[in-house]
């Protein structure tokens, strides 16, 4: 299947994006109400 994940669905995509999120300067606790999990970084989020 060309290395694709046949079980890639909404919750799994959200978990990948959380895992790859970058921390933002000035915040020590994540997730927080202002910035959530940080900045989305697709390069760090997707396996492979």
- C-alpha radius of gyration, the chain, whole number: 13
Q: What is the pLDDT of residue 5?
A: 82
The answer to whether 16 and 40 have CB atoms below 8 angstroms apart is no
The residue ranking higher by pLDDT, 3 or 45, is 45
What is the tens place of the pLDDT at every residue in 4-29?
888 889 999 999 999 999 999 999 99
The structural domains of the chain, with segments of one domain joined by +, span: 10-45
What is the tens place of the pLDDT at every residue in 25-48?
999 999 999 999 999 999 988 877
Q: What is the pLDDT of residue 4?
A: 81
Confidence of residue 1 (pLDDT cuts 50, 70, 90): low
Instruction: Compute φ and ψ for 46, nearest 5 degrees.
Output: -85, 130
């Amino acid at each position: 299947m060309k290395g694709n994940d046949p079980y890639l669905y909404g919750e799994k995509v959200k978990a990948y994006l959380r895992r790859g999120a970058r921390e933002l300067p000035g915040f020590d606790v994540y997730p927080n109400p202002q910035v959530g999990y940080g900045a989305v970084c697709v390069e760090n989020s997707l396996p492979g």
